[in-house]
Structure 1
């Protein structure tokens, strides 16, 4: 359900014109494929650092016959030099390595690298926000899923990196779950 909120909020912010969307840390490709299927006029680039995830996302795109998705292996932005996007979305690792929930439920079976980030779970979020400025077209928007207690910290990171129109959206459980910011350019 948290990822559904990210997809819904992204779709609500897309203009009627064709656009370029980047999904960072795509995993199975669920976010990229949902956006691409809803907006076949948009070009979606989906990246992941894990070769198995890249292969799976590419297979899913092929199986679902969604041609407007390109899947690449990349550690965040490393394979995207010189590219610009109108929207950047990500559900990056944001769980603190000491979080007791890591030993409970379905997350026990997930690769830790897909869940855990340093600095209280904020390291990857901060990296994406700072580096993302180089890859957002002027006026581009970044939307990031995060932990329900991280909204204030993520808004502060967006502000410090020079983004405007910063807002946090709540999930279906009324928790702060994703934050977005708009970048006007001038890295």
Structure 2
């Protein structure tokens, strides 16, 4: 099954949160955010929330759109995965985090409802990296800003990755209502 589209970006989680949403669905859903604490991935249909265990290092976000259900990938050893749905009536998707605020945006091959699967790896390694950073900063004798810069630089490696595999399944309800 061929990949129709692929988008990759890095984003530093905002208090552990990365948002992926249709460009018209930018208001945060508090209930879905709370649910992401327990399930890593939660959504509202037009929004997907990814819950990181850290908020300092950038996480990699890889979105792949398939021509049908995404095939199994034996080369990707994920720590976990969740099914998801992304309803994108506009076809434009935004990825939002703390830094940069808008980590990316892209146009889907077509607007509509996409079923999908979000998988991840490196969450615990990234959290350990953040804990190490805090420990080093608290015990370091910071005689110059260069010392702090060196410590920060040693903890900027991207260890955390979220892969979002999507495939189109139907028109959005909004699109059907307009016809």
RCO greater where, 1 or 2, for CA within 8 Å and sep 6 or more?
A: 2
Higher strand share: 2
TM-score (norm 1): 0.25
Please tell me whether Structure 1 or Structure 2 has the larger radius of gyration of its CA atoms: 2
